[in-house]
Copies of this chain bind each other. A is one copy, B any other.
């Protein structure tokens, strides 16, 4: 069975030494954060994720979920483990205390989600999706909806699910046909059918808070005619009256490539009772709150799978004896060394580290921006942070899930034939993480969102803010010569990014060219962001080493991996830049 040990030292490095959370005490939720409270939080988080969620991961994959007469049974142990998380207060970490949340900074909740997802991605969804649903109701729901649903979600007594996709409406939500009818009592009745709905029927909790996107009579065509409804599994009457089953029903489950312990199914609404969230025909607003939250969650999934895959690759290659690297060529032919000593294996491991460690830095930086956007006393700081978070959300979703898949793939490769065998358990990482590039908007959709809504629509304002931030970091210079190559590479890469951005936002640019270059542009931005984080991390490591910190190997490895990134990965920037500006001319003939 695969192993996992939460990388607490890595988290602390990013939080304490790179992002230096202590310097953000103006945020109310950060006021009482110290390295000690962070350490305690991380220890507790690691303990429950490793202790309760990890042991169920492989079993969950093998058992899968079972459907019978509309009821779904999750794998053995899932319901108990969920109750353990709820009982110990690991649900609703960053929710408002007014509604039963724990009021922690979002950045700490994100550390927890990463650990949980590394330990058991399928299980993590039962907790993670509730967050997206909470956030949508919290931001746009009526007071009555908030009072009814938020405390139950925050305490984990109920879970949440998002109902968007229909058979003919995936990326194109404007095609949604599920319809809603207004009732005399102010509620609505929902009719229709949706597919690929995750965690909307299970045996972990009695009730499930479904958020369903539907269309009212007379609504405008397309996505601007959508409305959002709370459609609970159980209709809770006031007082002690028994709950009544709502007419939302799981009619089948999909057999999937992976994520088998998370039930994904088709749902029908036969006049189900629903309650409007936000205004009629204005469902896009709460939906995007929910979807953006979910997209960052998916980015974390990519990162989390990369972490656990990397850990298992390091462990296996350190133990597996096979062959002699050139440096041992004089050894007897029946002497074999751990394969981690072979340069080609080391290259795979370094690539895994290069993504995973900077990915964590970026993910937590993004979480910090969101915390700032919500809590900073200064209006301009909030706006600026919100703009950076919005810009980077599609980038992190797409880049992290692509790289998470790559790392999971490298993990299999490091295991040789053993990686292909189910018992070893690492091929599950690849099957599980594959879905992250598809759901919550395919990665192609993320790239279009980035280029159209986040770059071209504001004529480059947000991206220029990002570029300026990265340039400022470069101008500061490094503390010694160890990061010169990375710095030079970043100077060139940021120039490429600037050039492509100008090309994209240029007056009269053909939208077909935006679309053709969107994916390469997103990858370029992701790569530059990674380089920026590596530079920040290498600088923090150099600072620590200069202060004669006792963890010298840890810091030296950071500087080394920053060099690897600069040598082998960052040079792709110019290739991506060229491709991004090719336009769509060569795509005419398929």
Contacts and interface: CB of A to CB of B under 8 A. Distances in A.
Contacts of A437: 413
A73 interface: no
Contacts of A590: 314, 340, 346, 349-350, 353, 557
B587 A326 contact: no
A103 B511 CA distance: 57
Given A326-B510, A350-B587, A417-B196, A256 B422 contact: yes
B434 A420 contact: yes
Given A322-B171, A334-B222, A421-B256, A329 B511 contact: yes
- Among A444, A519, A564, chain B packs the most CB atoms within 10 A around the CB of A444
A347 B587 contact: yes
A382 interface: no
Given A172-B336, A347-B519, A257 B420 contact: yes
This protein's copies in its complex: 2
A182 to B, nearest CB: 22
A518 B353 CA distance: 20
A322 B442 CA distance: 13
A458 interface: no
A364 to B, nearest CB: 24
Given A435-B420, A568-B579, A325 B172 contact: no
A291 B204 CA distance: 52
A257 B422 contact: yes
Contacts of A405: 409
A526 to B, nearest CB: 16
A28 interface: no
A427 interface: yes
A416 B171 CA distance: 8
A419 interface: yes
Nearest to A587: B346
Contacts of A561: 589
Interface in A413-457: 413, 416-423, 427, 430-431, 434-435, 437-439, 442-444, 447-448
Nearest to A324: B172
A237 interface: no
A321 to B, nearest CB: 7
A516 B343 contact: yes
B257 A515 contact: no
A560 B587 CA distance: 8
A172 B579 CA distance: 41
A345 interface: yes
Interface in A204-243: 220-224
Contacts of A563: 586
Nearest to A427: B257
A255 interface: yes
Interface stretch (A114-122, A132-140, A268-276, A570-578): A570-578
B321 A168 contact: yes
A280 interface: no
A184 interface: no
A344 B325 CA distance: 42
Interface residues of A, number: 95
A512 B327 contact: yes
Interface in A336-369: 336, 340, 342-350, 353
B443 A413 contact: yes
Interface string A530-570: 00000000000000000000000000110011011001100
Given A165-B417, A223-B333, A590-B346, A257 B438 contact: no
A582 B567 contact: yes
A55 interface: no
A511 B412 CA distance: 26
A584 interface: yes
Interface in A142-178: 165, 168-172, 174-175
A413 B255 contact: no
Contact of A444 (B345, B412, B421, B556): B345
B417 A343 contact: no
B170 A255 contact: no
A260 B97 CA distance: 51
Contacts of A443: 413
Contacts of A557: 589-590
A343 B584 contact: yes
A64 B488 CA distance: 54
Interface string A370-383: 00000000000000
Nearest to A559: B589
- Among A342, A343, A419, chain B packs the most CB atoms within 10 A around the CB of A343
Contacts of A587: 343, 346-347, 350, 564
Contacts of A349: 590
Nearest to A169: B322
A233 B548 CA distance: 67
7 contacts: A255-B422, A257-B427, A342-B515, A346-B584, A413-B442, A431-B431, A564-B586
Given A169-B322, A326-B514, A346-B587, 4 more contacts: A170-B417, A347-B587, A349-B590, A431-B431
The 5 nearest A-B residue pairs measured at CB: A222-B333, A326-B511, A560-B589, A255-B422, A343-B515
